[in-house]
Structure formats: C-alpha cells, structure tokens
Structure 1
Amino acid sequence: MKNPAYTFSMKSLSLAVAAGLFAQSGVALAQSEEEAIEEVVATGTRLKGTATAVMEERKNQAFVADIMGAEQISRTGDGDAASALRRVTGLTLVDGKFIYVRGLGERYSSTQLNGASVPSPDPTRNVIPLDLFPSGIIESLSVQKAFSPSMPASFGGGNVNVRLKSIPSQYIFNMSGSLGTNTNNFDDAYFYDGGSDDWMGKDDGTRAAPASILQQWNEFKFLDDLTQAESVEMFKGLHRDYDPYQAKVDPDTGFNMTLGNSHDIDDEWRWGYLVTTGYNNQWNVSEEYIGEQPLRDGEDSIRMVRFFDEVDTTEHSVKWSTLMSLGIDYNRQHQIDYSLIVLNDTRDQFREKVGNSANIQLVDDQRIREYEVLYEERRMYTNQLKGMHTFPSLGFMGLDWKYSLGRSSRNAPGNMEARFILTDENLDGVYDKVNESVLTNAQTAARYSFQALHDRVENYGFNVNYPVTMGRWEMEFKGGYDYVNKIRIAENRRLDVSTRAFADTSILQGNVYSDILTDDVLDSASYTSINLLRDTTIAGDDYIAAQLIDAYYFEADLFFDNTWRVSGGVRYEDFRQAVVPFDPRTNQIDLADDADRAQLQFMEDDFYPSIAVTYFMEEDMQLRVSFGQTVVRPDLREVSSATYIDPLTEFPIGGTPGIRTTKIANYDIRWEWYREAGNNLSVGLFYKDMDDPIESVQSPAQDGPPLVRIANAESGELYGIEIEFLQGLEVIGDGIWDNLFVSGNITLSDSEIELDRQNIVEQTGVSASITNLKRRLTGHSQYVLNTQLGYDSDNGEHSASLVYNVFGERIIIPGIDFFDDTYEAPFHSLDMVYKYYPDFNTTVTFKVQNILDDQQELEFENTLARSETKGTRLSLSYKYDF
C-alpha cells in the first residue's frame, strides 16, 4: 500500500433505532468511538503490512479489543462479516448469521455500523444478522471485549463494530468478477417456478397474496365467515405452481466495482468521495436429516417417531450492496462526512422432504412427502452524517457529532408448504412419488404464510474531548450524549388449505399440487361444510415495538510517564421499551385487562462504571487489566405473554412478563507482546459473573414442536483463556521459510448456569420439564481454534493461505422430558486461498472452502437429531485496478 498524503479517518457514527410508541417507550443501542485503520507504508509482505496496521490500532486501544482488517478478510476468503468474524479470537458463528462472543449468545453482544446502532430485519430479535454485510464494503471489523463508557450498556460478550470503507486519499477505480460452484451442485437439484425478477432478489408479485384476500385482511374480516363459494374463489387467486422439478444448477456469479478519489480545492479545503457496489448470485444444494420427536424405548434405546430422513434442499441467495460516501475537510481541523448504505440479501429455499410420523409409519407401507418454499427479502437503508472538529485556539478541544437514520425490512411475500402421502401399493419397497402419491386429506394439506417487518432507527449524539498535559501526566477527558429511538412494525398472516372440504377425495390423487387443485377441478368438485380456506393467523402475530434510550457518559484517559495508562468512567442510561401485540382480527391489543397491559412496558435506568489499567512493561510489551458492569435486557417480544411463531424456526415462542434484566460483572486481563514486522503474541484471561441470565427453556407440546419460553436462570458464570499469535517462519531458517508465516488463536473456556425448575414454572406459568438444571450456556463452545499458514513470494506475484477453524460442541436445544441437551458437533473448516498478481493492476484469486467436506450435525445421547451436508465450494475471481 502507498503512504497517503491525506486520509479521511473514520470515527464513530451511529445508526438508529426508531420512534416511540407512547410517551415513555422506545429503545436504544448506543455507539462506540473508535478510530478506523488508516493506510500505512507496507514494510514487508502483504501480510506483514496489514498485520502491522491492525496490531498498531489494537495496541493503542484503551480497552481489550480485537480488530480484523480488509486485507486479512481477503486472505481468509470470507464473503461476509459473519463468516469473517469467526476468525477472531473467542468468536463462533451460529446459523451462518449470528456471532457468539466468548460463548455468549447473540443477545449478549451488541452490533454497530460505523459506531452506530443498526436496525434489524430479524422479526424476533434486536440483533442484526451479520451475514447481511458483504466483505467487499468492509474496511475493518472491531470487536471490543471490555466495556467502556462510550459503549452501549447492553454489553455481555462484546461489541461488534462493522466499519465500512472510507474515502480514499487518492484516485481508485477497480472492477472484479467471479465464478464459482459447490461440489454439491454438480448433480441436478430441485427447483420451482418463481418470479421473473428473482435474479435481482425481488419478488415480482408472483408469491404475493391476491387482492381479494388482502382486502379481507385490510378490513379485518379475514376468512372466518366466508361461504364455500367465496373461499374457493379466493383460493383460485393464490399462486399454486410451487411444484418441484429437477434441473442443472447454474454457476455462482459475482461483480464488484469501486470508484473514489480526494481533491484539493485550495490550500485549506479538500473533498473526497467513494462509491462501491457489488452483486452476488449463489446456489447451495444440500442433503439433510431432520429429527423432530424422539421416543425412549427402554433405558438405552431412542428412536425418532417423527422425522424426515430424505431431505433435498436448494437455496438460492442474491446479495447486492451499495455504499456512497462524501466528505469535506477544512484545514485538517474540521471534517464532515455523509454515507449512504443500501444492502439486500434475498434467500429463496426449496426443500423436498420424505419421512414418517407417529401416524404415518413404514410398517403401514406409508411415507410422508412434504415440500416447502421459504422466501425472504432482507433490506437495510442507512444514512449517516458525522462531523469531527478540532479547535487549536481552545487548547485543541475536540467536538465529534453524528446523526444516523436507518431502515430495515424483511419481506416474506408467500412461503408455502404442501403435504402428500406415499403408499407402497405394489409392496416393492419403492415409494413412487409419481404413481403412488396422494395429496393428504387434512385440514392442513397446504399452508401459505405472508410476513412483513419494518424497523426504523434514529440515532444522534455528540462528545467533547479535552487534552491536558501536567508534568509527566498526559490526560484526555471526554463527555458525551447518545440518543437512540427505534420503532418496529411486524405483521404475519397464515392460510391453511383444508382438503376435507372435498366430498370426493379421489380428486386428491397425484403428486403435483397445481395439477390436483386446478380451476376446473375446483369448479366441478362437490364440497362438504368445511371451508377450503382457513385463516390460521393467531393473536400476537402482529405487533408494534418501540425503544428509547438516553445515555450520558464521562470518560478519562490518563497516561503517566509513558508507563501507566488508566482509562475509565461511567455511563448512565435511561432505557424504555414497549411491545404491543395485536389481534389481527380486531386490530386491538392482544391483552384484555389493564394488569396484563402493564407488562407491555419495560423501563430501567442505572449507572454503568468501567475502568482499565495498562502497564507498559517494555516499548513493545504491555499488560492490561479491566473491569466493567453491564446488563443484558430482554429482547423486543420477550416481555409480553403473547405466543408467536418464530418464522425462522417455526417454533411457537411465548414471552414472559416480569422477565428480569441480566446483570454482568466483567473482568479481563491480557498480556500483549508486539514485535517486529507484525509478529505478536497475546495471552488473556476473562471472567463474567451473571445474575439472572436470560435463557430459553422448553415446555412439552402435545403435538408438534415444544413451546419455547423465555426465563431467568438463577445465576451463571463464564471464564476462560485466549491466546493469539502471528509469527514469520524465518526463525526456522533461510530459503522458503522467509516466505511463510503462521498465525492463529485458541480460546479455552467453560460456563455454567443454574436453573430452578419451580421458579421457572412460576415465572412462565407453564410446565418446564428441564432435564439439566445445571449446564453450560446455550451456544457455548469450550474451545475455539483458528490457524492460518500463509505464503508470500519474494517477487510479490503470489500469495496463498491455508486457513483452519473448529469449535467445540455447543448446546443448541436444551433438553426436556429427561432427554439430554442437543449439541452441535464440532465443524472442521479448512479453506485455501491463492492470489496471483501478474502485474500492478491485476489480481486473480482462487478459493477452495470446506476442503474436508465436513457436514453439520446435531446430536443428543448418541442419537442424530439433525444433519446437513455443506459441500466444497470453489471460486475464481479477477480484479483489475484502472
């Protein structure tokens, strides 16, 4: 990289979370103030230049933090922020979206974009899925693990700050394209006919509810009082051609473009801009096993009575992103930046499933065949404006301010599932999907769902800092204010197709849903008194939520004799939240009396102190110790007793009025050794003491999945050790060793929570058949290992990395009814990235991911609960700098 004559730095910026419902409702997430990585002179290989920049920033942080730069992300080949963050010490990735910091679930970590709160398109969680951010727009990822007063007080495992690319110091224009595939994609896969705009990640209206049904919903009539004729006519308007066919899988494609520059207006004024946009179209084919209901036969034998053992899945994802930034600077003392970020991530998944249940069994020569379409569009739009000012005439006092307005949405316009019965009529052991199939005669032969969510966040704030020098003391004092206002509106509609409406069930013969229920068949059929369409939307499916946070903080940073550094202060937060579940049929609040409605508001205010002490043992060696008090608050829907269906898991979830905030005492100590050319070594210890940790528990269900409830455990603790290193292998000898390096990290930790069954029953009001009253935290892995072996050629034309990641088994589903907890087995990820630089302007990259072809597995008591193949992904990209 080149040494710039001028750079635009990237401090804090805050997204927001939006508007209040009633006078005392709202939310917040605050922001941290962190400097972005500026360009530096590369003094060695590509790795060493990058490592030096990142390590220098981490070294200068007042509180324990880990930072990953864009070049490091490029070397590991990860495509989004979530995948990249699993390389950071102590972080694990769950469900491809959510980051667990030091084994604490996503609720225990806050996420920011350029130092700002972020709206989330997830319908049941506050946190934003980090797979939404493509790596092409990321400048660096910062994970602060020790609480500081400028951070949100809702801080458990840490704060993840996604810092996007900043305005360059000189002209930059590059374009890149990529092609790829997965070994699972080599054979034919299942597809269905979607819309003409699917390649853009946008439904063209094909999946949407017809106007006749929308009118019923808008008038709050729903489908409860329809005549059979009206029910049939409305059903005709629903899209029915979701039937699968097999075809070749297209290759993955991608495109990225970046354009930016900075210009001098005169000796004092300078302005700059950056535009970067990207598009990615990717296919994933997999085979799965899904176990849904275990039964214990004797002491040592377990069998699944409801399961799908033949599951073929095709997932199509379309991601596109645009980042536009403008900045102006006066005399390097006053700078104002504006950024617009637009992100889209569309998932279109088709599943073909064959299995059995307690009623449909192999001993009766029958099987269940289901297929389902899961389609969702997630989008985020964010405007960010910030100013940074220095006043030399006032003792170099600094003033930083920000304003951010963000919106996110999730649109799932028409998910659908249908169920068939396969009967081996000729007893040949083959269940013929074409000739031995019938659409099931049931009240839920098919189901349609339509979901929409809108999240709006407004965030603004400022801080003033003032430096003071007295003898051997160098000091900086900072005070600030943060305001976050968030509002969320969510809607969910469900329709069931009841084939018991037909008097003659012989019309249900066949395997193609759209061929069975044609308009001609519907017009000529004889009907019973049961309507063809049933509206199964339930009270609580609609809700409005709001959060409001006013936060004030004071922080001091004191250096003594270049030997000691003491940083700390206190944060005050006034937090208010309201969640209002609605009955969609009446548009009234889904809680009858005033006592129940009192549960809708959640309010608290408190002071949150922190302190960090750094001892500079040598010029390149330091020891840090820190302490902070933080909280983790209930999520949006967790304070209301209304039951809702999680659209991501399809589990019924019930919140708990009176759920208590988790209070956490955080302790950290870390020794760091920063050596020549980016080589480094650090060892850290951490401990967290938790009162009333918030956890998910389950209550047995009569039919279908268990009811998930949110409850407080009595106490919890988490402790562990983190080791991180980077070392060039020239220490071994000359020759090839000069071109190799090894880096990595390992985290060893343990956790324990203690639950009281009776207290949970009293708190939730339902039976809680918890198997283990003492267990690890959900999602916590006792070890996480990352290693990287890298190569950089002498002439700078070649570089390669072999990257390995593995995590220890972790609880995904806590056990009930005397069944043990369900664990996700360790996943061994081995990736290779090779880069060729034929000239100064060109980069060719070849990636192979999941070389070991490992698969994801969930097990309990040596019984397979779920599994999914991942395949080996191959990609080739070409980038040219103009």
Structure 2
Amino acid sequence: MLLGAKQYPLSTITLMVLASLTVTNISSAQSTNEEAIEEVVTKGTRLKGTATAVIEERKNQAFVVDILGADQISRTGDSDAASALRRVTGLTLVDGKFIYVRGLGERYSSTSLNSAAVPSPDPTRNVIPLDLFPADIIESLSVQKSYSPSMSASFGGGNVDIRLKSIPTQEVFNISLGTGYNADNGSNGLTYKGGDSDWRGKDDGSRAAPALILQRWENKQFLDNLDPDFARDIFISVKRSYDPLAESIGPDGSFNLTYGNSYDITDKWRIGFLLANAYSNKTRVTQQYELQQADRIGDEIELVRFFDDISATETTVQYSNLFTFGVDYNRNHQLDYSLIVLSDTRDEIREQFGNTENLSVGENLRIRDVVVEYEERRMFTNQLKGKHTFPEYDFIGFDWRYSLGRSLRNAPGNFESRFIIEDANLDSIFDINSEISLTNAPTAARYSFQNLNDRLENFGYNFSYPMSIENWEMEFKFGADFVTKSRTAQNRRFDINTRAFANAEILQGNTFSSIFSDEVLLNAQQTGSAVIRDTTIAGDDYVAGQKVDAYYVEGDFFYKNQWRLSGGVRFEDFRQVVAPFDPRTGKFDLTENGLEELAFSESDFYPALALTYMLGDAMQFRGSIGQTVVRPDLREVSSATYIDPLTGFPIAGTPGVKTTSIINLDLRWEWYREAGNNISVGLFYKDMDNPIESVQSPAQDGPPLIRIANAESGFVYGLEMEFLQGLDIMGDGVWDNLFASGNITLSDSQIVLDRQSIVELTGVSAAITNTKRRLTGHSQFVANLQLGFDSDNGEHSASFVYNVFGERILIPGIDGFADSFEQPFHSFDTVYKYYPNFNTTITVKLQNLLDQEKRLEFEDVLLRSETRGRELSLSFKYNFK
C-alpha cells in the first residue's frame, strides 16, 4: 500500500465485483501487488460494486443522464426493466409496464434497445411495454433527460435506452433457479379449462375461432343474418369451457441460464459470444373493486353501476432469449450481432359481482360477470452494429447500426358473459348455485379475437472527428438515422344471443358450458333468431405506416478541461398514415375529409445546447436547452375506437391532432466524492404548445368515451435531488458496513384546455370539469430510499428499498365530477443475498411488506381498488466459472 493513501476495508465480494469490472489480458496487466491494490482503493468500495460502476459514465456525459447498472438492479431485486426504472430519479411506473419521466405520460417518452428503435406489441400505445425485458438480460438502463441532436426529436420527458448484456471478457457460465409465493394467493384462486401448452405461454389452438368462422371472415361473409340451425352448428364448434374453477395456487417458478466466452484467434483478432435464456411462471390472485358510473344528487353521490366484489387470477408466463456474437480486430474495429426474442403471455380470469341501474339490490337483483382475457406478446429483433476507429487518420471514428424487428400480439380467446342472480325467496342472500341464470339478451356473452403485427427497420450511422488545438479539445460529429415502421391490426368479435331460444328455462345455472352443452344446443327449441351475432364494426381493422429520415450535426468542445460546450442541430422529416378498414368490405373507413385527415407529415430543425463547468475532478455544473416535439402516435390520429387496458374505457383517436412543441431547460449540480459517495441537485422546466391529452365525453350507457385532443398550452417544472453516502461518517464499527442512497423529485404541471376548441376538433361534447389542471399521470413528488449493508467477510449483503409517488390524475373529470386520482403507493421491499463461496449466491426477496393496494379515488369516493399482496421469493445462482 502506498504511503498516504486512504484505506478502505476490502471484502471477498468486493474483490470479486471489482475484478469482473477491471479484468484485462494478463500480458497487458503486468504490475506490482501494491499497484493492483491501489487501483482497488481508487475505485471506491462503499457500495460494493453496485452503483460506482456507472457513476463515471454519467459524469462524462455532455447532457443530463441517469444510469442504472445491472448490479444496482440486482441489489433492489427488481425483475424487469419497468420495475427497475421506478428507482431512477423522477420516474414513476404506471400499470406495471409504462414509465412516466418527470411526470409526463408514456407518449412523452421514447424507448430504444441498444440505441436502436424497436417495435411495440401493445395495440393501444406506440411505446414499448417495459415489463417485456427481464432483468437477467439487462446490462444497464440509461435515461437521458435532456435532449441531444443525436437522438430522436420526438422527446418529451426523456429517452430510456435498454442496454442488453454484451460479450464477456472471459468465460461466463451460470445457472439460477427461483421460486416465489404471494400471500394473497392462498386457496381462493380461479382457473378455467385452458390449453395444454399454457405452461409455455402458447395457446394450443383451442381458444382460436373455429376454421369455419375464420373462413367466413376471410371471405368477407361474416356472421350476419345466419340461418338459426347453421348458427347453432357453428356455436357447437366454439370453445365454451370458460367457467371459473376454484383452485389452490402453487408457487411461482423461474430458470435462467447464461453462457459466454471470448477467444484470442491471433494477436489482433478476438471473437466472443453470449447466450442468455430465462423463463418464469407467475400467478397472482387479487381482490378488486370497480365503480363504472356515479350520479350526483344534490351534494350526494349515488353509485349507479359498479362491481363491489371482484376475484381475479392472473398467470404470466415469460421467456427471453439473447444471443450475441462479436468480432474485434486490433481493438479498433468491432462488429456485433444480436438476436433478441422476448415473449410475455398474460392469462386472466375474473369473476365479478355488482349492480347496474336496472339490475340493483333494490330490485332484488345482482349481476355476475365472467371475463377471460388472454394475450400473447412477442418481440423478435435482429441487431447488427459496428464501431470503427482509424488511428492512421487522426482517430476518425465511424459507428453504424442496423436493426430489424417484429412485434406480435395475439389475443385468440377473450370471453365475457353475464349472469343474473335473483333473490327469489327474499332472504337477502343471492345464491349463485340456485338463484342464477344466464341473462336473456342479445349480448349474453361475447367472444373477441385480436391480432397485431408491427415491423420496424432502423438504420443509423455516425462519423466523429477529434481535434486538439492548444487549450482546446474538440470532437465533431455528424450522422443520420432512418426509421421505417408498419403495423397491421385485426379485430373480430361476435355475441351470443340467448333470445334465439324459445325456452328461457334452459338459461338457468351458473356455468356457461353446461347451459350450452352440445346436448342442450341440439335439442333446444329456437325462436327463429340466430344464436350468433357478428359485432365486428368498421375501424376494427387498420394499417399504419411511419417513416422518419433524420440528419444531425454535433460539436463537443473542451477548454482547459474546465469548460465543456456541446450542441448541434437535428433535421427530421416525419411521415405517418393510419388507415382504418371496414372488415366487411375490405375498403378504407374514411371520414368526410378522406385519406388526407388520416395522414400526418412534418419536417423541421431541432437544436440543442449544453454547457458544463468542471470545478476540479469532483464537481461540475450543467445547463442545457433544447427544442423537441411529441407527435400523435399511430392510433391517436385514427377515428377507430379501442379499449384502454389501463382504465377499461373506450378510446377514439382524433384525426387532425396537432404535434406538441416543447422547449426543454435543465440545470444540474453534481458532486462526485470519495469511495463512490455523490450528490446532485437539478432543476428542469418544459414549456409545451398544444400538449396532447385525453379528454372524456359523456356516454349514454356504459363508461365514458375518451378522445385524444390538444390542450392550448402547458408546462411542467421541478426539482430533482439524488445522493449516495457511506454511513461511516456516523462513526466506526457497524457504520462502516452501511450505506444510504436515494432520490426525491418535487414538481408541478399545468395544462390549459378550451372546451370549444376540443368540440371543434373531436366533434363530440367535451363536458370537462377542470379546464386548468395537472397533466394526466403527473405526480407532484416521487421518492426512492435505500439502506444497504455489506458484511466484512463479503458473505452477506442486504438492501431495504422504499418507493412512493404522489397522487396522479388517471381519469380527468367530466360533468362536474372532480378528476380521479391514483393514490400514493408505498412500496417497501427488502433483498438479502448470501455468498457461501465464490460461486454461489442465494437471494431472498420480500416485496410489498406494507401490504399496500392500488386505489383510485375522486372526491373521497373509491373508484377502483386492487390488492397486490406480500410476496416472498427465493433464488439460487451458481457460477461454474
């Protein structure tokens, strides 16, 4: 140890982590033992390798960036990209899939994979559901919060770049097994007769529409005005076994395998590869409440339509495959190929009891709905990228990338049915065994089948030229980015008309499959109406295309390693068209203005400038300004109606929605101290013209219709604070093994809406309660805190992690009702890791220890609630190398 150097205690696990971060070829790492130990000291070990590995990268960025490394994700126990990103300053998680950056909705944030654009399998949003990406394949998550010209100009809150694991510097081979259980699962789970391949997240075809129906749809015949006997015969071929069955839920399971290596072929050539596979199967039982309609009578609010008893069971099957192969020549030329395959299947059954305005307890009636939602989401992406440096030409750099991806969503078996429970003996007990029957109505049950295909091609390149003149270090960049995206979507549905049968007594019972058994259908007397009614409507099918051609120029200037000026300009030519079809004719479903109203194009320049002042090696001040846009996505300019999975409300796009223009301002102070300790404070402000928002229109029956419209103006501003500190400042002893980290964001926003402008744009009534309000989804505060422990011998580590967000508007109010706010969710988790030897890791996670539930309220009235339950999981990981 060199004299005078500050010493920190080193543990076995510390040396393991640091070795993995700093390993080099033995031939190029000849040094004394003292020098090797000194290198470890300067790295800092306060967080035992979790956060310090990414601090240097964040520090060296020209624009404001927050980075979360794989070790940090592992430390907090998050299972996917979405849940991990909620730990980043100013980010909140919505619906377990979408990230809101600085209080701006998912449409105001963009996502890239290894810096390349990728397609989305979500039919209702243009962004990627981030729960698709399991933590096991993620190397780091980068959130750029201030705009730079090298990235897409469609930039609001920020850009999330998911960086997948790359080729290792040495052989990697590990396997992990995991299991888990939710305390709410118990013996009250529900299931139904699904398919034989459900365990692998693949429908075996039993949920799909029968071949005869598919053939009619393909031939544009549909299921209209069918002969009653023919309709009955078709119905016999349809799956009817969707009845809920009580089941005791077993434990979750997961498996991960990673193998990779690198080889020196010659003194100059090196190749390597990495293969990572993961599988998980998880089931969650929840109790829910849902208010669908309320009326105001004087000062009182009357609940009209609601489900006050909902039991739901959701099974999620996920698997991921990552294969990467790379070639390196003389460390100046690198070529990498990656294949990413992600699959996420959600299978949910709900049994819900409630009342409507006409079917109420006052009339001695209750309703029972059975709902099954099954969807398969898959993403396939091929990426090829190169990085080249030419020392013989003043170290000119040339980087390029090509990505071709497809996303698929298949929902082959969505089903819903309605039963009526009548308290016939007036004992105030609604017996679901003896006092129940399937409703006698044209819409007694509904089958729906959906399919979506996205294809996205992305090519980009960048040239860089470094220069040095006296006190100036400079780098000039220019490049281009080209994106071509296409989407096709198909939706088919038909209803079951129970009025097709003359004897209503056959509808008695609580199981759909028994009421409509083959024997009953073949012997039941018919009224002359068809039992099947096709309810597919115009706009259920659509095709969409998007093309972006972009070019940019950037400059990066250092003066005396104290001042840094970065900036440039980007030019984007954007074109988009969304064309809804009438499935029955195969022709465009056009508005009065024709195809022009469905097409959208614009081109403009988008500048950005950032200034950094470095006060020594540890402290720096940043400031940046940039002009960006947020454009309406593929469905938001189509008049077709779809159901929002977040709210359950129907949403109709609006042709003619304008682009949102944004001016982004950022200021930030950063102080990087010894041993990885750091602190930063930032201010941000965004001024928006024509912000895109969701508004409601009152509905005659059922939930309100959501329309996409432009507000007049808007802004969001806030303060972000982040810190990481070893607790040895509290004294010696146990404090040496503890550290604390966290962040807090305080912000506010406002949009101004004009009712008449919205009516003119959408063509429907806009009974908006508050014409001035916060942005939908914006939380005025977000906080993350973590307390970590590492034992001296490196065999034990523990983290206690807390996350909370402030209330946020999820459903804007109409007709005098206040906005509906999602209530704060206090998440408290703990993660313990045990390292019995160099190769083994045992992890125990306890999540949602406070047993919080998701709640949505307006005017102190509960609109929705959903239990989450406490979770316990255990995993075992073994490194063979």
- Same topology, TM > 0.5: yes
SS of the aligned residue for 2:476 comes to strand
Aligned to 2:13: none
Aligned to 1:177: 177
SS of the aligned residue for 1:72 comes to helix
Aligned to 2:71: 71
Aligned to 1:537: 536
Corresponding letter in the other structure for 1:203 = D
- 8 Å CA contact retained: 2:44, 2:674: no
- Structure 2 residue 445 is matched with structure 1 residue 440: no
Aligned to 1:582: 581
Aligned to 1:4: 23
SS of the aligned residue for 1:50 comes to coil
How much has 1:527 moved relative to structure 2?
1.4
1:424-459, CA deviations, whole angstroms, 9 ceiling, x for partnerless residues? 122222211111110000111100000000000000
Aligned to 2:248: 248
Corresponding letter in the other structure for 2:641 = T
Corresponding letter in the other structure for 1:599 = E
- 8 Å CA contact retained: 1:566, 1:613: yes
Corresponding letter in the other structure for 2:175 = M
Q: Which moved more, 1:307-316 or 1:220-229?
A: 220-229
Distance (whole Å) between structure 2 residues aligned to residue 639 and residue 872 of structure 1? 41
Aligned to 1:807: 805
Q: Which runs of 5+ in 1 are unaligned?
A: 8-38
- 8 Å CA contact retained: 2:45, 2:675: no
Aligned match of 1:726 in 724, 727, 733? 724
Aligned to 2:101: 101
Corresponding letter in the other structure for 2:390 = F
Corresponding letter in the other structure for 2:68 = M
How much has 1:252 moved relative to structure 2?
0.3
Distance (whole Å) between structure 1 residues aligned to residue 42 and residue 116 of structure 2? 30
1:754-792, CA deviations, whole angstroms, 9 ceiling, x for partnerless residues? 000111111111100000000000000000000000000
1:592-634, CA deviations, whole angstroms, 9 ceiling, x for partnerless residues? 65x3221121000000000000000222000000000000000
1:449-499, CA deviations, whole angstroms, 9 ceiling, x for partnerless residues? 000000000001111000000000000000001110000000001110010
Distance (whole Å) between structure 2 residues aligned to residue 632 and residue 716 of structure 1? 13
How much has 1:646 moved relative to structure 2?
4.2
Aligned to 2:3: none
How much has 1:110 moved relative to structure 2?
0.5
SS of the aligned residue for 2:573 comes to strand
Q: Which moved more, 1:584-593 or 1:387-396?
A: 584-593
Percent identity reads 66
Aligned match of 1:779 in 777, 780, 798? 777
1:154-201, CA deviations, whole angstroms, 9 ceiling, x for partnerless residues? 000000000000110000100000010000012331111100000000
Q: Which moved more, 1:206-215 or 1:43-52?
A: 43-52
Corresponding letter in the other structure for 1:728 = G
SS of the aligned residue for 1:185 comes to coil
Aligned to 2:224: 224
Aligned to 2:670: 672
- Structure 2 residue 444 is matched with structure 1 residue 425: no
Corresponding letter in the other structure for 1:83 = S
Aligned to 2:116: 116
Distance (whole Å) between structure 1 residues aligned to residue 335 and residue 704 of structure 2? 53
Distance (whole Å) between structure 2 residues aligned to residue 465 and residue 131 of structure 1? 35
Number of aligned positions between the proteins = 849
Q: Report 1:324-723 matches (<5 A).
A: 324-591=323-590, 595-646=593-644, 649-723=647-721
Aligned to 1:23: none
Q: Report 1:198-237 matches (<5 A).
A: 198-237=198-237
Corresponding letter in the other structure for 1:835 = K
Aligned match of 2:828 in 827, 830, 833? 830
Distance (whole Å) between structure 2 residues aligned to residue 107 and residue 389 of structure 1? 35
Aligned to 1:744: 742
Aligned to 1:158: 158
Distance (whole Å) between structure 1 residues aligned to residue 41 and residue 184 of structure 2? 43
How much has 1:651 moved relative to structure 2?
2.6
SS of the aligned residue for 2:49 comes to helix
Distance (whole Å) between structure 1 residues aligned to residue 155 and residue 819 of structure 2? 27
Distance (whole Å) between structure 2 residues aligned to residue 872 and residue 381 of structure 1? 34
1:490-527, CA deviations, whole angstroms, 9 ceiling, x for partnerless residues? 00011100101111101100001000011111111121
1:528-573, CA deviations, whole angstroms, 9 ceiling, x for partnerless residues? 2322111111110100000000000001111000110001100000
Indicate the RMSD between aligned Cα atoms, in angstroms: 1.3
- 8 Å CA contact retained: 1:48, 1:678: no
- Structure 2 residue 767 is matched with structure 1 residue 769: yes
- 8 Å CA contact retained: 1:645, 1:651: yes
- 8 Å CA contact retained: 1:40, 1:53: no
Distance (whole Å) between structure 2 residues aligned to residue 6 and residue 591 of structure 1? 64
TM-score (norm 1): 0.95
Distance (whole Å) between structure 2 residues aligned to residue 329 and residue 652 of structure 1? 52
Corresponding letter in the other structure for 1:432 = D
Corresponding letter in the other structure for 2:601 = M
TM-score (norm 2): 0.95
Distance (whole Å) between structure 2 residues aligned to residue 225 and residue 513 of structure 1? 24
Corresponding letter in the other structure for 1:93 = L
Distance (whole Å) between structure 2 residues aligned to residue 697 and residue 537 of structure 1? 25
Corresponding letter in the other structure for 1:105 = G
Q: Which moved more, 1:237-246 or 1:584-593?
A: 584-593
Distance (whole Å) between structure 1 residues aligned to residue 796 and residue 641 of structure 2? 56
- 8 Å CA contact retained: 1:47, 1:72: no
- 8 Å CA contact retained: 2:49, 2:71: no
SS of the aligned residue for 1:435 comes to coil
SS of the aligned residue for 2:570 comes to strand
How much has 1:645 moved relative to structure 2?
3.9
- 8 Å CA contact retained: 2:46, 2:675: no
Corresponding letter in the other structure for 1:583 = D
- 8 Å CA contact retained: 1:40, 1:49: no
Corresponding letter in the other structure for 2:155 = F
Distance (whole Å) between structure 2 residues aligned to residue 199 and residue 177 of structure 1? 17
How much has 1:50 moved relative to structure 2?
2.9
Q: Which moved more, 1:567-576 or 1:184-193?
A: 184-193
Distance (whole Å) between structure 1 residues aligned to residue 778 and residue 873 of structure 2? 32
Distance (whole Å) between structure 2 residues aligned to residue 319 and residue 458 of structure 1? 25
Aligned to 1:27: none
How much has 1:650 moved relative to structure 2?
4.3
Distance (whole Å) between structure 2 residues aligned to residue 292 and residue 225 of structure 1? 33
How much has 1:47 moved relative to structure 2?
2.3
Distance (whole Å) between structure 1 residues aligned to residue 775 and residue 82 of structure 2? 21
Corresponding letter in the other structure for 1:55 = I
Aligned match of 2:877 in 868, 876, 879? 879
SS of the aligned residue for 2:234 comes to helix
Q: Report 1:843-862 matches (<5 A).
A: 843-862=841-860
Distance (whole Å) between structure 1 residues aligned to residue 444 and residue 437 of structure 2? 11
Distance (whole Å) between structure 2 residues aligned to residue 773 and residue 592 of structure 1? 28
Distance (whole Å) between structure 1 residues aligned to residue 555 and residue 801 of structure 2? 40
Corresponding letter in the other structure for 1:333 = N
Distance (whole Å) between structure 1 residues aligned to residue 141 and residue 591 of structure 2? 46
- 8 Å CA contact retained: 2:98, 2:106: yes
- 8 Å CA contact retained: 1:42, 1:48: no
How much has 1:45 moved relative to structure 2?
4.2
